[in-house]
């Protein structure tokens, strides 16, 4: 969908009505007016537009309360599509979804380093073109492309300021992709996108405050308050992995010493295990997990210790933000059964109050798609809830 067309669809009242239909379908026009405090003529006029635009469809008649049976309304979920991209640090993954987040097609490309900005952008464009061409979709049916980008992102300009694991800076992602596709582009840090995806698709209900923590190649977090991402004054809210735990610790990719990431990322877990068992650089984070799976007590204890360290970080997070729920994701959390008991035990030991000790901490049910669906949700929240 061309950028101008998408903007026309985004009035506040339209979004209020769309979101009411999305969360309450099937629903009648009269019920929408009652629950949103909009006038019946306003609701009827906007619903007419939404039906003409293909976003809403009518269904069989609803239950009557004495008069004529009302026509019920639904989101026309397969009338439009969204492309979501999880960009870096090791692959570019791309999906095509409908307005409910159902995935219809995927592509993936390895990022072979070293890499230039131009090469990185070329890989993004190639994956998006592949998705569009493979599904024979006209761009007018795509409401936009969401990019979940590794590293520090300037959301307003759509620029990747720092992608430390790719050793890239100042990538003008939004400008380049909008010129290429003439489609609305939204870009966000990958951990924050994951948090929004959890809020949108994770089945958490109306949680007032939630933090999603992604622990994998790096460590990041996103904070969602009343359904909105919190970015902070300079846009770096959620850099959870760069919380200092040891002033004299290992040097992190960010240049500081002793960051949480130097203890609990996949590479850090492997590195600490190698020192413990005096392996000559041959282990990966996956190896540690598989050795633990096979019952090796050394690696089981190592993951348990990693869980304690994560628990310390999460306790700090609880003390700082006091969220209703923390959702953990990323490749490291595939070792959930070895680490979660230690994580919860540490929070129980260290949290300041009884209530804080009861903070709900879970592992995502969205699996490896959490960040991709977060990228999709960057467009959906603009369409359904831009307030």
Work out the burial of residue 292: count CB atoms within 10 Å of its CB; fewer than 13 is exposed, 13-18 middle, 19 or more buried: buried
- Measured in residues, the chain has a length of 387
The percentage of residues in the chain with a pLDDT greater than 70, rounded to a whole number, is 94
Q: If you average pLDDT over residues 377-382, what whole number do you get? A: 90
- In angstroms, the CA 186 to CA 175 distance is 11
Domain boundaries, the chain: 3-75, 81-195+371-384, 206-364
Question: Do 371 and 215 touch, CB atoms closer than 8 A?
Answer: no
Across 5-9, 76-80, 87-91, 340-344, the highest mean pLDDT is recorded for 340-344
Superfamily of domain 206-364: ATPase, nucleotide binding domain (3.30.420.40)
Question: Do 329 and 212 touch, CB atoms closer than 8 A?
Answer: yes
Tens of pLDDT along 204-256? 777 788 999 999 888 999 999 988 889 888 888 888 999 999 999 999 988 89
What is the reported pLDDT for 387?
53
Q: If you average pLDDT over residues 299-306, what whole number do you get? A: 95
What is the reported pLDDT for 275?
82
Task: Answer yes or no: is pLDDT of 90 > 90.
Answer: no
174 vs 67: which has the higher pLDDT: 174
Sequence-ordered list of residues with C-beta below 8 angstroms from that of 4, at least 6 positions apart, any chain: none
Q: Is 81-195+371-384 the same fold as 3-75?
A: no
Tens of pLDDT along 277-293? 765 567 888 899 999 99
Superfamily of domain 81-195+371-384: ATPase, nucleotide binding domain (3.30.420.40)
CATH 3.40.50.10260, domain 3-75, yes or no = no
Cα dihedral sign, 237-210-197-329: positive
What is the reported pLDDT for 234?
82
65 vs 195: which has the higher pLDDT: 195
Task: Answer yes or no: is pLDDT of 85 > 90.
Answer: yes
Question: Do 73 and 46 touch, CB atoms closer than 8 A?
Answer: no
Task: Answer yes or no: is pLDDT of 187 > 60.
Answer: yes
């Amino acid at each position: 969908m061309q950028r101008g067309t998408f903007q026309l669809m985004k009035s506040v009242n339209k979004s209020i009505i769309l979101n009411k239909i999305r969360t309450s379908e099937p629903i009648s026009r009269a019920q929408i007016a009652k629950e949103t405090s909009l006038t019946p003529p306003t609701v009827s006029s906007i619903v007419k537009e939404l039906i003409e635009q293909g976003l809403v469809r009518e269904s069989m008649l609803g239950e009557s309360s004495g008069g004529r049976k009302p026509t019920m309304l639904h989101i026309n979920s397969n009338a439009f599509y969204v492309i979501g991209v999880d960009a870096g640090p090791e692959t570019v993954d791309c999906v095509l979804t409908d307005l409910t987040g159902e995935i219809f097609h995927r592509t993936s490309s390895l990022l072979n380093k070293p890499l230039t900005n131009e090469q990185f952008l070329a890989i993004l464009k190639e994956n998006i073109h592949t998705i569009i061409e493979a599904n024979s979709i006209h761009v007018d049916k795509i409401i936009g492309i969401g990019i979940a980008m590794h590293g520090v992102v300037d959301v307003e300009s759509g620029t990747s300021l720092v992608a430390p694991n790719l050793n890239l800076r100042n990538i003008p992602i939004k400008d380049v992709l909008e010129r290429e596709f003439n489609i609305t582009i939204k870009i966000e840090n990958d951990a924050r996108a994951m948090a929004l995806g959890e809020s949108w698709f994770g089945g958490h209900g109306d949680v007032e405050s939630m933090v999603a923590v992604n622990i994998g190649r790096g460590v990041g977090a996103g904070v969602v308050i009343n359904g909105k991402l919190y970015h902070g004054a300079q846009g770096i809210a959620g850099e959870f992995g760069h919380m200092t735990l040891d002033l004299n610790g290992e040097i992190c990719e960010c240049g500081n010493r002793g960051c949480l990431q130097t203890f609990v990322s996949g590479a850090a877990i492997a590195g600490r295990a190698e020192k413990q068992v005096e392996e000559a650089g041959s282990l990966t984070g996956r190896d540690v997990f598989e050795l633990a799976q096979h019952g090796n007590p050394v690696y089981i204890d190592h993951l348990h210790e990693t869980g304690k360290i994560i628990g310390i970080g999460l306790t700090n997070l609880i003390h700082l933000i006091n969220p209703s729920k923390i959702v953990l994701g990323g490749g490291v959390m595939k070792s959930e059964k070895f680490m979660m008991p230690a994580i919860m035990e540490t929070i129980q030991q260290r949290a300041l109050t009884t209530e804080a000790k009861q903070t709900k901490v879970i592992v995502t049910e969205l699996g490896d798609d959490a960040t991709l669906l977060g990228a999709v949700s960057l467009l959906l929240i603009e369409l359904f809830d831009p307030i």
